[in-house]
Amino acid sequence: MPKDTGIGASPLRREDVRFLKGAGEYTDDIKTYGETVAVFARSTVANGIIKSIDTSVAEGMPGVLAVFTGADFVEVGGNPAGWLINSRDGEPMKEPKRPVLAHGKVRHVGDAYAAVIAETDRQARDAAEAIEIDIEELPAIIDVKEALKGDNFVHDEIGTNQCFDWGWIEDNRAATDEAIKNAHHVTTLELVNNRLIPNAMEPRCSMASYKASGDEYVLHTTSQNPHLTRLLISAFVMGIPENKLTVIAPDVGGGFGSKIYHYGEEALVLAAAKRVGRPVKWTSDRTEAFLTDAHGRDHVTKIELATDAEGNFQAFRTETYANVGAYLSNFATATPTFLHGTLMAGNYTVPLVYVNVKAVFTNTAPVDAYRGAGRPEASYSLERVIDKCARELGMDPIALRRKNFIKPEQYPFASAAGLEYDSGNYDALMDKMEEVADVKGFAARRAQSEANGMLRGFGVNAYVEACGIAPSNLVGVLGSRVGLYDAATVRVNATGNLSVMVGAHSHGQGHETVFPQVVAEMLGIDAASIDIVHGDTSKIPFGMGTYGSRSLAVCGSAVVRATEKIINKAKKIAAHMLEAAEGDIELKDGQFSVAGTDKSVSFGEVALKAYIPHDFPLEDIEPGLEETAFYDPANFTFPSGAYCCEVEVDPDTGKVRVDRFAAVDDFGNVINPMVVTGQVHGGLGQGIGQALLEAARYNSDGQLESASYMDYAMPRADDLPFYTVDHSQGTPCTHNPLGVKGCGEAGAIGSPPTIVNAVIDALQSSGKNVTHIDMPLTPHRVWSAMKNA
């Protein structure tokens, strides 16, 4: 019988009531008295020297209050990279300054070089258009391999377009090379992990106000991590003291990574609010979102897999060119390295892994973490080359994977790529997948498709990822310049209801529903009496926000720790009220009772007592009932899964239809199965979008040709099948109090190789020797591959 409350129950998402009624309050919904509008003037060329900017006409136009150019920000700092990577030769990565506004040079189409503050949006737009800029256009640097030749640089001051040349694990390089040289069989695959544009439903928006009386700033902004944004603005960019800056991320309509980062627009509205003495708001339009939100993926990779005659994996070796775009976004250097290279052993006992990643500057929008962040790139490379290997060796793709799986008794398992997996059972996932997907029935379904003139393919994938992004000591060793703990404050109010202030930020995840389930279970009270507060640095403890599927594993654990402290203190108060020893107090179903007696007080009575401490022994018990905990785990969490799908390919047109998709995931313990299923559905939608539809395309001049929904194909309902989702095979995480892993990114990690493997299988079934097609598998690409096979 499923529970209807607490851990393991699936109450409906309480936040959906306001979202579905259109009553959410997003940054752009917040109207302030005296509000003004900021509009940015952006480069229409990809690379060029700014010879002059004339703002005189714009400044005199109706309604214009101020005009800013890069010159106004020469004295302030740059937007930093949050993760230091050292190259193979020990040299630190190149970190050219990322200014608030472009100065001296524009480096990608959409690079802002000026901003107008005006009374109305229309006045600001007209004035921005009247700014005269003279740019000497330079050839655009677009292709990652070409970028490393010649002497045309995105950042002249570093004299190269290579940010770093990273090796992982460098000590394994020679042994890996040797293993590949001597292997019985080597499968090689060259592939492109296509560049994606995040496309959150709500475009970015930032509004700043400034109060001269206290020299205080408030920034409302679309952020996944308001404290991190404040830290970056205070410590690196603007120098505003942290205690003079409040950052509020109210309802945020999706992020997928793109709203982790601090962007120049946030700094601009802060500076402008002070100069004009009124609130300043900037709201991105959709074209600006395409041009300037940090993009995702964009790897060019060669991967080799060495096996013995029986199909035992002996080594993986990869060489990747990772496009970081024109400037380093905050996590741009971590994404292709430690979030990618450390996963290149996959679910397998392979003894040797060597990963080489060259990060390359180009005249394109910055590239950073996007749902999955490095792990989709790792899983795609691995699971595509394994599939190709199975075909070359004439082995069943499931059997080949099983042969090399880490077995349940091997945990904790030190992977060849440097991580210690704490738990998992990949065979159990594969068993479950074969069952729920009715893999046995595939042959009959293929025959049926063929009778209808269609090709049917089966694709499988096994993934493991590292999420619950933390722990501080480990990420510190790996180069992170920030800690990755999280924090929660549980405040029990006098009337017995609770406010739980969390460092995580919900922008679609469902924290307002799920965190109360945890607290309610622990206290034995009604979840409806518990409210979650998030997104406001003036209200919440200093947490690190939401990304890397970390909210429940890291912040949820902080909630557990803080609630434990509440229970301990409440027991003290109850003991005082019941005139019993603290050690004799038991908490059950919201009642504190003296063990072995019928004496008890309710949670509500204890709460009231905490704030009316007329007779408290103040040496032993402080008034109040409020506790804070910071939680920093011992390791990443390691969700894993077995995915499979069946596709039908129309041999006449190359059109791919995903007929069925099964995702069997190990997320450890599950707090709200419905929310988890929803997260998997969302991730699968984005992964299938990457596999079949989505591609950010720059032409050789650096013009983004896919900058609208006419040219950038987002997945729609009729592109997606009904999913079979299962998370019954969880192996609890061994190091956090909830035993949870993380489910936010899994679907986007596991699905792209599953789809591509299935399409290749379909084409092979028709006798076409197609071994690879780069994503997205558009009808044109599939048809061309069939035709050229």
CA distance 370 to 320: 18
Stretch that binds other proteins, among 81-89, 125-133, 201-209, 654-662 (CB under 8 A): 125-133
CA distance 673 to 690: 26
Nearest 5°: the CA angle 74, 219, 744 is 105
CA atoms within 13 A on the CB side of 587: 22
If the CB atoms of residues 290 and 667 are measured against other proteins, the closer one turns out to be 290
If the CB atoms of residues 56 and 708 are measured against other proteins, the closer one turns out to be 708
Q: From residue 703 to residue 742, what is the string marking binding to other proteins with x (rule CB under 8 A)?
A: xxxxxx-xx-------------------------------
Per CB under 8 A, the list member of 38, 109, 382, 755 interacting with other proteins is 109
Contacts of 506 (CB under 8 A, 6+ apart): 15, 512, 532, 534, 535, 546, 551
Binding of other proteins by 120 (CB under 8 A) = no
CA distance 69 to 55: 9
Q: From residue 282 to residue 321, what is the string marking binding to other proteins with x (rule CB under 8 A)?
A: -----x--xx------------------------------
- Per DSSP, the residues of 73-98 read GTTS-----SB--B-TTSPBPP----
Asked whether the beta carbons of 535 and 511 are under 8 A apart, the reply is: no
CA distance 204 to 759: 36
Among candidate residues 265, 263, 223, 278, the one with its CA nearest the CA of residue 246: 223
Among candidate residues 300, 307, 437, the one with its CA nearest the CA of residue 380: 300
* Beta carbon of residue 126, minimum distance to other proteins (angstroms, whole number): 9
If the CB atoms of residues 138 and 345 are measured against other proteins, the closer one turns out to be 138
* Beta carbon of residue 699, minimum distance to other proteins (angstroms, whole number): 7
Among candidate residues 225, 358, 251, the one with its CA nearest the CA of residue 299: 358
- Per DSSP, the residues of 199-228 read --SSPPEEEEEEETTTTEEEEEE--S-HHH
* Beta carbon of residue 284, minimum distance to other proteins (angstroms, whole number): 14
Q: From residue 665 to residue 704, what is the string marking binding to other proteins with x (rule CB under 8 A)?
A: ----------------------------------x-x-xx
Q: From residue 22 to residue 61, what is the string marking binding to other proteins with x (rule CB under 8 A)?
A: ----------------------xx----------------
Among candidate residues 645, 662, 684, 642, the one with its CA nearest the CA of residue 762: 645
3-state secondary structure of 36: strand
* Beta carbon of residue 690, minimum distance to other proteins (angstroms, whole number): 21
Counting residues that bind other proteins (by CB under 8 A) gives 19
* Beta carbon of residue 707, minimum distance to other proteins (angstroms, whole number): 3
If the CB atoms of residues 128 and 367 are measured against other proteins, the closer one turns out to be 128
If the CB atoms of residues 212 and 710 are measured against other proteins, the closer one turns out to be 710
If the CB atoms of residues 141 and 570 are measured against other proteins, the closer one turns out to be 141
If the CB atoms of residues 170 and 701 are measured against other proteins, the closer one turns out to be 701
CA distance 739 to 639: 11
DSSP 475: H
If the CB atoms of residues 706 and 724 are measured against other proteins, the closer one turns out to be 706
The beta strand positions in 437-522, using DSSP E, are 455-464, 486-492, 498-502
* Beta carbon of residue 102, minimum distance to other proteins (angstroms, whole number): 15
Per CB under 8 A, the list member of 129, 136, 156, 308 interacting with other proteins is 129
If the CB atoms of residues 419 and 693 are measured against other proteins, the closer one turns out to be 693
Q: Which residues of the shown chain bind other proteins in the complex (CB under 8 A)?
A: 44-45, 109, 125, 128-129, 287, 290-291, 699, 701, 703-708, 710-711
